[in-house]
Structure 1
């Protein structure tokens, strides 16, 4: 046989093998595409599962779920294993978690926010003029912008008023001040020598410091079972240092939206709101994280006509397509506005940017130009489930922005929707 004939035979055999293996390779591709894990809630509608054809059967190892007609029916809370078989031979196993039902009240209310920092935050240096010298004692002591002053001479510093008497005493006694700082995750100790500002006739340390921050935001959810809430959907950072505020405590009060500064390309818009921190406190702030602010809420803030509690939707349940948000654009009235979910990423671990949304409601676009500051935290609802909250606007396209999946906000609030499932396993 010539080499040419051998080549033809080899090609023929190869083509025959590909023909025979093609169905198997297609099956393998479909099998690999089936997820290894599925999660659903006990009261959810049946969940569709991949159908590999009439040659395959799907069974469950217990009564927590029932597999039938390319769907699984949640039955009892707990863990199950779904098994795909061909000719009674297992080809794929899928872990299925049935979670106990979880409902929360979606928010949308506008709130005034005040945070008190852990210690006092250094936001800048300033120079002190004294007998021809111009110095900043704080800068010379290697105190950085963004540092948090925790203690001075062994005294805990909780607010601005705690600093002045310590500086005055040390200055009059010509003594240095021992300063304990928090710099990121590091604790730093240094010595600080107050300097007399003769023009103002007081001792100063050459630092600009701050102990609180205020602003407005939107409530995302309220959990009736625990009294906990979540808002904003993103961390609150200091306006000067741009670093996240480490908080000691905080509070929220009712706020009234008075006007809207519309957003344009390159310039984010903003809600203007009226509130007073002297008003009745309607909620505490115990946590400031990348997923928002969290604490306990007085349900009085929700008002008489608040939304009813609704199921939550996990990240893998969010679909591209129509949805709506709840927010305030005038006064204290919570209204519904249409949006479209452009993209959503199923997430197994917490992440802040899980969705991309676009405002499609003509009335909201006319009023705000899209997503504006103060709208952060507005709940996102799809298929009668609370699925997330608005977080950031795209500066170059104010009609669009990011959303965070609601399961991560609940987790940050200390509401563990997986807890019962974990105990069952």
Structure 2
């Protein structure tokens, strides 16, 4: 369920409809900016900031804020075929948030609202989001001949699930704040970023690996139990990853103590490592940062990396889907996370600076 972007990269996270068994497979130039003494002092203070390293797989479930349109269809009525959603100008990827003055929490609530006696067959005000911008339209539900219920002529989704890798955990007064993935969880059909109403993370076990090949990214297959013990809750899902809270940290046996964060201006092309869990064993693997981008403001695809570790290449062919969020370490400091694999060369991929993740 992963999607190819510009025919060269692929997200390393898959979004599925079932939360029980998840099959991942179907996601330089140097800074020469002048820094004032005041900024230098601030940067020096932040340099001491430390976090606990991730590298462990987690299962994730998200309930969306509103419902996401994944398809539009006609409705068979006593008057023939009607298409309320087409007439209202709706499209795949739109997020429906309110209708007839009531909040749309999920698929069931939408059905219940439009079938209320006062709403059935009436022209209703519908609020929705398209490309992160709120919009309003009017829609008239049509009565489906086979069921006798009013419908809008939509295929919709209100949840997502999948696995990824936790990047960091930061201790707070109330527990731990975590960041994972390095890119958003998106609807697999429309690529719409899933807005979070609520979400949870769980312990995940790896059950298999499919190696990457040129033109065909590999995948990590994992399993987690939705009914199992929750490790934490998801609060945010944005272009830099998934973020939330945990009561207790997951211990990385390679780095039981916190490590320093490396600011983006200090990240350089050269040797580095990633931490990933393959075959349920967490290990460090050698990579090269072959290009870094000057990013004055928060942007994705901060650096290009290449896997040079023979053991990892032998096991996975390079970067595989499911490694999204794997921490990138340079000179003993956390610099970012793995986010994408190159379709035509799976030993290469993109990473995102930790600066952008930690600020979330």
Give the TM-score normalised by the residue count of structure 1: 0.71
Cα offset, 1:298, TM superposition: 3.0
Cα offset, 1:195, TM superposition: 2.0
> Is the contact between residue 264 and residue 398 of structure 1 (CA under 8 Å) also seen in structure 2?
yes
The partner residue of 1:207 within 151, 154, 174 is: 154
Q: Report the Cα distance in structure 2 between the residues aligned to 1:36 and 1:129, rounded to whole angstroms.
A: 66
**Any idea what SS the aligned residue of 2:171 has?**
coil
Residue 258 of structure 1 pairs with residue 207 of structure 2: yes
Matches within 5 A, 1:185-224: 185-224=132-171
**2:352 aligned residue:** 404
In the superposition, relative to structure 1, how do residues 130 and 171 fare at CA in structure 2: closer, same or farther (>3 Å)? farther
Structure 1 residues without counterparts, runs of 5 or longer: 1-32, 39-77, 82-94, 413-425
**1:102 aligned residue:** 49
Give the TM-score normalised by the residue count of structure 2: 0.83
Q: Report the Cα distance in structure 1 between the residues aligned to 2:137 and 2:33, rounded to whole angstroms.
A: 55
The partner residue of 2:190 within 221, 241, 252 is: 241
The partner residue of 2:283 within 322, 326, 335 is: 335
Q: Report the Cα distance in structure 1 between the residues aligned to 2:233 and 2:303, rounded to whole angstroms.
A: 28
In the superposition, relative to structure 1, how do residues 307 and 403 fare at CA in structure 2: closer, same or farther (>3 Å)? farther
> Is the contact between residue 167 and residue 326 of structure 2 (CA under 8 Å) also seen in structure 1?
yes
Q: Report the Cα distance in structure 1 between the residues aligned to 2:39 and 2:253, rounded to whole angstroms.
A: 42
**2:27 aligned residue:** none
Residue 376 of structure 1 pairs with residue 335 of structure 2: no
Cα offset, 1:310, TM superposition: 0.7
Cα offset, 1:346, TM superposition: 4.3
Comparing both chains, which one has the higher relative contact order based on Cα–Cα distances under 8 Å and sequence gaps of 6 or more?
2
Cα offset, 1:316, TM superposition: 2.4
Cα offset, 1:353, TM superposition: 1.6
Residue 279 of structure 1 pairs with residue 228 of structure 2: yes
Farther-moved stretch of structure 1 (186-195 vs 368-377): 186-195
The partner residue of 1:168 within 94, 112, 115 is: 115
> Is the contact between residue 114 and residue 120 of structure 2 (CA under 8 Å) also seen in structure 1?
no
Cα offset, 1:277, TM superposition: 2.1
**Any idea what SS the aligned residue of 2:335 has?**
strand
Q: Report the Cα distance in structure 1 between the residues aligned to 2:269 and 2:255, rounded to whole angstroms.
A: 27
Cα offset, 1:102, TM superposition: 0.9
Q: Report the Cα distance in structure 1 between the residues aligned to 2:220 and 2:131, rounded to whole angstroms.
A: 32
The partner residue of 1:301 within 220, 239, 250 is: 250
Please identify which structure carries the higher helix content: 1
> Is the contact between residue 234 and residue 289 of structure 1 (CA under 8 Å) also seen in structure 2?
yes
Q: Report the Cα distance in structure 1 between the residues aligned to 2:112 and 2:268, rounded to whole angstroms.
A: 58
Cα offset, 1:202, TM superposition: 2.9
**2:181 aligned residue:** 232
Q: Report the Cα distance in structure 1 between the residues aligned to 2:198 and 2:341, rounded to whole angstroms.
A: 27
CA RMSD of aligned residues (A): 2.4
Cα offset, 1:223, TM superposition: 0.7
C-alpha distance after superposition, 1:49-90 (max 9, x if no partner): xxxxxxxxxxxxxxxxxxxxxxxxxxxxx8388xxxxxxxxx
**2:7 aligned residue:** none
Q: Report the Cα distance in structure 1 between the residues aligned to 2:33 and 2:103, rounded to whole angstroms.
A: 53
Q: Report the Cα distance in structure 2 between the residues aligned to 1:186 and 1:265, rounded to whole angstroms.
A: 38
**1:395 aligned residue:** 343
**1:420 aligned residue:** none
Q: Report the Cα distance in structure 2 between the residues aligned to 1:170 and 1:269, rounded to whole angstroms.
A: 51
Residue 290 of structure 1 pairs with residue 239 of structure 2: yes
Q: Report the Cα distance in structure 2 between the residues aligned to 1:111 and 1:392, rounded to whole angstroms.
A: 18
